[in-house]
Structure 1
Amino acid sequence: MKTPYDSALSDFFSGNEEHKLLLHNTYGPAEEMPLWYFFRSYEEMPDLEKMALSVCEGRVLDVGAGTGCHALVLQHWGHEVVALDTSQEAMRIAKESGIENAVCHDFFSYTAAPFDTLLCLMNGIGFIGRLSSLRVFLKKASELLGEEGQIIVDSSDISYLYEASVKPLDSYYGEVSFQYEYRGKRGDWFDWVYIDADTLTVEADALGWHTYILHEENDQYLARLIRKK
């Protein structure tokens, strides 16, 4: 049975744009998630994402690839790319869109190494759910990357959500939960984490990684992580 997220992607891909995909959250009112955003061309991508694609090297694992818009650009540029996502529908669409290697699989149990670049866009590192899971993510990244491999990731500082209130004391303030709704049906809640640049730098350093901030725009940033030698 398709999730609301899968159904929304399927409808949009087949030309049905009648219904809205809503994203409920734990910090405010539900928001509409524009479906076209999952199907962007290179020209429609923000500068941050264009920069992220330009610094990818060698064999690329696009983690949380969705419908494959980033992987498609990299593939066109001549990279060997694996688009990885847990959504079967997203991977079906990616294949039909021309992605040669679209794999429906969980990141933490994926083993087809080595890669030169792990790419995590659209606040992509957020799928780890909790700041405490960064250690597990980086350990798995080490297993998947070659000796000179890199992680290219973007995230955001969402401290602006707490300008009128106190940040939580019992958890990292970037940890939130989301729930998709489509055609009146709601999916399961899932955890997500936005990691501010300073926290990522400090936490990654303690875990054996250098963090280089490549671009900052408003509350969002792009970073490259490379293992210490």
Structure 2
Amino acid sequence: MIDLPGIAIKNFQDKTSRAKLYVHDTFGPKVEMPISLYFRTEKQLPKLEKKAIDLCKGKILDIGAGAGSHALILQSKSLDVTGLEISSAACEVMKDRGLKKVVCEDIFKYKDEKFDTLLLLMNGIGLCGDLDGFRKFLRKAETLLNENGILIFDSSDINYMYEDEELPQDHYYGEVTCRYEYQKEVTDWFNWLYLDFKTLEKITSEEGWKSELIYEDENDQYLVQLSKK
């Protein structure tokens, strides 16, 4: 699939395009994804993401690191952090911005090192696609964590998106189909996952993890920390 978010990030960094990045989903009109969000400083982070940064410990893997903003903040605090990203264009940007450790890889294929913290922000856990994918990810995460390691991510309950509609009967309501649009090009449709906390708690418990709700904001977004039981 064409890597439109990566291209948008690279063009923003190189100042070669002012085009906007949009996300289409099954709920209605396309929504702009401001590319500047990938380039925030620590001061610009919302409270939820600042709390996530503060929880990170030891050797850290920032999964779906984008332009590397969270990883660069952690690196500036003298922490040992690696930015992992499937987009080669975004990986170039991370290196250009000064991130020392960058891995261009699919998280489900990565197996080179173990870490004390796995971090996914900006709803990075959505890459699981569906509930089965989330279980698969938890099993993969277990192979990447050192003893007493932690998994930190945010998600949101999108129940409110259905408003007066009934929740779907044929799949979990947080399993959404999306695609990106940039410079009049579109990607193929792909699956993205939003997890409500109760569903998360049930699945993580069944997979042998302990979940701790760290923070919840006014927009139904929350931050969770998982550790193995």
Q: Taking structure 2 as the reference length, what is the TM-score of the superposition?
A: 0.96
Rounded Cα–Cα distance in structure 2 between residues aligned with 1:206 and 1:66? 31
8 A Cα contact 2:4 2:180, kept in partner: yes
Give yes or no for the alignment of 1:7 onto 2:7.
yes
Q: Distance in 2 between matches of 1:78 and 1:177?
A: 38
Q: CA deviation at 1:97?
A: 0.3
**Is residue 23–residue 178 contact of structure 1 (8 Å, CA) maintained in 2?**
yes
Shift in Å, 1:194:
0.3
What's the counterpart of residue 140 of structure 2?
A: 140
List alignment gaps of at least 5 residues for structure 2: none
1:196 aligned partner = 196
User: Which residue is equivalent to 1:184?
Assistant: 184
Q: Deviations over 1:73-106 (max 9, x none)?
A: 0111111111001000000000000100111101
> Given residue 111 of structure 1, which amino acid in structure 2 is its aligned partner?
K
Partner in structure 1 of residue 82 of structure 2: 82
SS at match of 2:27: coil
Question: When the two structures are aligned, how many residues end up with a matched partner?
Answer: 228
Give the Cα–Cα distance (whole angstroms) in 2 for the partners of residues 149 and 113 of structure 1.
13
1:18-46 deviation line (CA, Å, top 9, x unaligned): 21111111121100110100111111110
Which residue number corresponds to residue 223 of structure 1?
Answer: 224
8 Å contact kept, 2:120–2:152: yes
Query: Which stretch of structure 1 is more off in the superposition, 21-30 or 141-150?
Result: 21-30
Measure how far apart 1:16 and its partner are.
3.8
- Residue 35 of structure 2 aligns with an amino acid whose one-letter code is L
Indicate conservation of the 8 Å contact 2:2/2:187, yes or no. no
Residue aligned with 1:30, SS:
strand
SS in 2 for 1:84: strand
Q: How big is the shift at 1:198?
A: 1.1
Note the C-alpha offset of 1:17: 5.0
Kept in 1: contact 2:7–2:90 (CA 8 A): no
The answer to whether the 8 Å contact 1:62/1:82 transfers is: yes
Measured in 2, the distance between the counterparts of 1:28 and 1:199 equals 25
- Aligned partners of 2:112 and 2:130: how far apart in 1? 25
Q: Normalising by structure 1, report the TM-score.
A: 0.96
Residue identity matched to 1:225: L
- Which residues in structure 2 correspond to 1:1-229 (within 5 Å)? 3-16=3-16, 18-218=18-218, 219-228=220-229
Cα distance between partner residues in 2 of 1:146 and 1:6: 30
For structure 1, the 5+ residue unaligned runs are none
**Identity score, percent:** 44
Contact 1:113 1:143 in 2 (8 A): no
SS of the residue corresponding to residue 103 of structure 1 reads strand
Matched to 1:14, the amino acid is: D
Shift of 1:162: 1.1
Report the alpha carbon displacement of residue 178 of structure 1 after superposing the two structures with TM.
1.3
Q: Which stretch shows the higher mean deviation, 83-92 or 133-142?
A: 133-142
Q: Which runs of 4+ in 1 moved over 6 A?
A: none
